[in-house]
Amino acid sequence: MTKKHNTSAIQRRLIPSYIFLIFVSFISVFPFYWMISAATNTTVDVARGKITIGTHAAENFANLLANQDLWRTMGNSFFYAIVQTILCLFICSLAGYGFELYHDKGKDRLFAVLLLAMMVPQVATMIPLFRMISKMHLLNSVWAFILPSISTPFMIMMFRQNSRNFPVSIMEAARIDGLNEFKIFFSMYVPIMKSTYAAATVVTFMNAWNSYMWPKVVMNDNRAQTMPMLIANLASGYTTDYGMLMMGVLFCSVPTMIIFFVLQKSFAEGLTGAVK
Amino acid sequence: MKKKGLTVTGKQRIAGWTFLTPASLLIFILSFYPMFQALMMSMKTGSSANMKWAPLLFNYKRMFADKLFMRSVGNTFLYLIIQVPIMLILAILLAQILNNKDIKFRGLFRTMVFLPCATSLVSYALIFKSLFATQGLMNSILMNLGIIKENINFLGTPGTAKAIIIIALLWRWTGYNMVFYLAGLQNIEYQVYEAAKIDGANGWQTFWKITVPLLKPTIIMTFIMSINGTLQLFDESVNLTSGGPANSTITMSHYIYNNSFGQGTANFGYASAMSFFVFILVAVLAFINLKVGDTRD
């Protein structure tokens, strides 16, 4: 009886907190709802402020297909993001493993130098990298897209820090069993570190899928464009068809939203770089 | 025996170096070397194909005399000064509320607040552009409520266009920062809060006396990350306002892009000088971060 009274008193004191949370949650979610509703309405209805779900989704979708090469672009975005994720995870986890489990003075110093790359802004290396890529005749290829992002100090650091939990005794036992250093990596390290890999996958895939400035520089052939470039094109005309635009935005957002909902825990861990 | 032991550790040392070589080489070739090239290029003039050495610091002098670049610096700092503090305070508040075990539906609230992170920067920029269009939802809501008499051209007026960029940034990044604080709060013993409650501390006092001091390392980290991100703003400026009206919302990265890859221009030398300026800003901030970070253990 008293306990029940207690909880209701606590809940009553939390009313301002609930109001604040509901307010913030509504603002956070509403643009998503609106994106979906606008994708199902005509541009006239959208402009008129209609926010209920409409019946023009098929029409907007047909317009989008007529206007842009949607399937090829979706394919491009998936292809680039998957290749980037696989290579980035392989290269950075290998390095994180090497830096942590084979560490000595020299490697620690090199690591400190590599961390300086975190300070290098994308806009500063954009021009030299563009010239490098264009001299190598790689413009509009998957290599142009992925090269600057397959080795990042952030990912190396994440794998290095999480490697601290990797039991060294397993390595020693494996060595006694006669496994070489590479086999230890593939058959011991990779399976044990799978939660770190999951978090790294989510973050790398999202970054690749969402990147915009660099693809805009090196992927200027329409056939090589990515989803963010496609929707930016839809909006850049003199008159914007809002229904069609939001249908495009929806297609650009669905893959990352699925990942968000399915792997939310890994996503949060990947962002903060703190996987246990 | 001893000799054999040495070769085994020798083999391991070589293996260690082999593991980290690909990543390290890539960072040197694709990050440090381009940075050096950018510095060299910032001393030259001419477009991409035939670049010549310019008089000493020519591009840098031009940069400081360039009213438009200075405006882009001003805009970027305006976003920084207004948006970052509001966002971080909101994020800490939300994290503190969501860390309270008495709150019901915590998981649901957390997911909703965190949801904006699932959109790409271009997507949310376009959503906000549509919401605040002259013929858009915001205008019809304000009209129906009788707050305004005729539609406002939000994105065509310098003041409101800047405000909308700030609102959009707040929407996209508050939940992101909240996640860092929630992770930080999990390291704080919940008993500290229980004890404060027994001592009769109210929410406001707990926030300033317990949460903020204990989250100091996380706050410094998110602060630096936010500054770094804001200094490099690009997608929002390009897609939400196109830098307009009349360049009143253009950011540094956007202006540099326009000078290097914009229509009909390839001022690689000049653009490199401006990008080096951004690098110095970021580096100075990172240095301050390292200094502040040193004192925390």
Domain ranges in chain A?
2-62, 69-272
Peptide bond into B245 cis (omega under 30): yes
Find the CB nearest A119 among B104, B203, B286: B286
Read off the pLDDT of each residue in B214-221 and give the average, rounded to a whole number: 84
Compute, in degrees rounded to 10, the torsion defined by CA atoms A160, A163, A165, A169.
-140
CATH fold label, A69-272: MetI-like fold (1.10.3720)
List of residues 6+ apart from A169 with CB closer than 8 A: none
Whether residues A121 and B232 touch (CB distance < 8 A) is answered with yes
Is some CB atom of chain A closer than 8 A to the CB atom of B187? no
Find the CB nearest A210 among B121, B234, B286: B121
- Partners of residue A245 in chain B, C-beta under 8 Å: 126, 130
Cβ-contact B98, B110 below 8 angstroms:
yes
DSSP state of B52: E
Is some CB atom of chain B closer than 8 A to the CB atom of A92? yes
Cβ-contact B112, A25 below 8 angstroms:
yes
Distance separating alpha carbons of residues A237 and A269, to the nearest angstrom: 39
Is some CB atom of chain A closer than 8 A to the CB atom of B293? no
Whether residues A271 and B238 touch (CB distance < 8 A) is answered with no
- Partners of residue A227 in chain B, C-beta under 8 Å: 120
Q: pLDDT per residue over B92-139, tens digit each?
A: 999 989 988 888 898 899 999 999 988 889 999 999 999 998 888 888
The whole-number pLDDT of residue A59 equals 92
Taking only residues 124 to 163 of chain B, the set having a beta carbon closer than 8 angstroms to any beta carbon of chain A reads: 124, 126-131, 133, 135-137, 139-141, 144
Whether residues B31 and A117 touch (CB distance < 8 A) is answered with yes
CATH class, domain B56-294, is mainly alpha
* Residue B8: count of CB within 10 angstroms of its CB: 10
Mean pLDDT computed over every residue of chain A: 89
List of residues 6+ apart from B261 with CB closer than 8 A: A130, A216, A217
Is some CB atom of chain A closer than 8 A to the CB atom of B65? no
For CA atoms A161, A166, A172, A174, the dihedral sign is negative
Annotated domain spans of chain B = 1-41, 56-294
Taking only residues 21 to 40 of chain B, the set having a beta carbon closer than 8 angstroms to any beta carbon of chain A reads: 22-24, 26-27, 30-35, 37-38
pLDDT class of B145 with cuts at 50, 70, 90: confident
Is some CB atom of chain B closer than 8 A to the CB atom of A136? no
Structure tokens at B211: 């949460």
Shortest Cα distance, chain A CAs vs residue B274, angstroms: 8
Structure tokens at A214: 């660099």
Q: pLDDT per residue over A31-70, tens digit each?
A: 999 999 999 999 888 888 888 898 999 999 999 999 999 9
* Three-state DSSP state, A120: coil
The whole-number pLDDT of residue A274 equals 59
Q: pLDDT per residue over A61-96, tens digit each?
A: 999 999 999 999 999 999 999 999 999 999 999 999
A153: closest chain B residue by CA:
B27
Q: How many CA atoms lie within 13 A of B271 on its CB side?
A: 25
Please tell me the least confidently modeled range out of A204-208, A268-272, B17-21, B32-36. Answer: A268-272
Whether residues B260 and A126 touch (CB distance < 8 A) is answered with yes
Opening angle at CA A66, ends A64 and A67, nearest 5: 65
| Residue whose entry in the numeric block shows the structure tokens 């329409």 | A222
pLDDT class of A4 with cuts at 50, 70, 90: low
| Residue whose entry in the numeric block shows the structure tokens 């196109």 | B242
DSSP state of B243: T
Q: Using CB atoms within 10 Å of the CB of residue A174, give its burial: 0 to 12 exposed, 13 to 18 middle, 19+ buried.
A: middle
Is some CB atom of chain B closer than 8 A to the CB atom of A156? yes
**Max avg pLDDT among A264-273, B3-12, B106-115:** B106-115
- Partners of residue A153 in chain B, C-beta under 8 Å: 27
Nearest alpha carbon to residue B229 among B259, B258, B251, B244:
B251
Read off the pLDDT of each residue in B60-87 and give the average, rounded to a whole number: 93
* B117-142 core/surface letters (b: 16 or more CB in 10 A; e: else): bbbbbbbbbbbbbbbbbebbbbbbee
Statement: residue A154 has pLDDT above 60: yes
Distance separating alpha carbons of residues B224 and B3, to the nearest angstrom: 50
Cβ-contact A188, A171 below 8 angstroms:
yes
The whole-number pLDDT of residue B296 equals 44
The whole-number pLDDT of residue B200 equals 82
What type of residue sits at position B128? F
Q: How far is CA B13 from CA A25, A67, A253, B117, B229, in A?
A: 52, 57, 45, 41, 38
The whole-number pLDDT of residue A46 equals 84
For CA atoms B66, B72, B78, B80, the dihedral sign is negative
Q: pLDDT per residue over B254-273, tens digit each?
A: 999 999 988 777 888 899 99
Query: How long is chain A?
Result: 276
Q: How far is CA A4 from CA A7, A10, A11, A185, B19, in A?
A: 5, 10, 11, 55, 60
Statement: residue A276 has pLDDT above 50: no
| Chain centroid, CA A23 distance in Å | 27
Is some CB atom of chain B closer than 8 A to the CB atom of A30? no
Shortest Cα distance, chain A CAs vs residue B159, angstroms: 22
| ipTM of the predicted assembly exceeds 0.85 | yes
Is some CB atom of chain B closer than 8 A to the CB atom of A33? no
* Residue B52: count of CB within 10 angstroms of its CB: 8
Find the CB nearest B113 among A25, A126, A147: A25
Statement: residue A5 has pLDDT above 80: no
Pairing relationship of beta strands B52-53 and B44-45 according to DSSP bridges? antiparallel
A186: closest chain B residue by CA:
B19
- Partners of residue B225 in chain A, C-beta under 8 Å: none
List of residues 6+ apart from B150 with CB closer than 8 A: none
Structure tokens at A47: 């402009």
List of residues 6+ apart from A129 with CB closer than 8 A: A147, A148, B30, B34
pLDDT class of A216 with cuts at 50, 70, 90: very high
The whole-number pLDDT of residue B294 equals 56
Is some CB atom of chain B closer than 8 A to the CB atom of A110? yes
pLDDT class of B225 with cuts at 50, 70, 90: confident
Whether residues B24 and A123 touch (CB distance < 8 A) is answered with no
Cβ-contact A115, A106 below 8 angstroms:
no
Q: What percent of chain B has pLDDT over 90?
A: 46
What are the strands, taking DSSP E only, across B89-165? Answer: none
Structure tokens at B42: 């910032």
Distance separating alpha carbons of residues B296 and A251, to the nearest angstrom: 45
* Three-state DSSP state, A69: coil
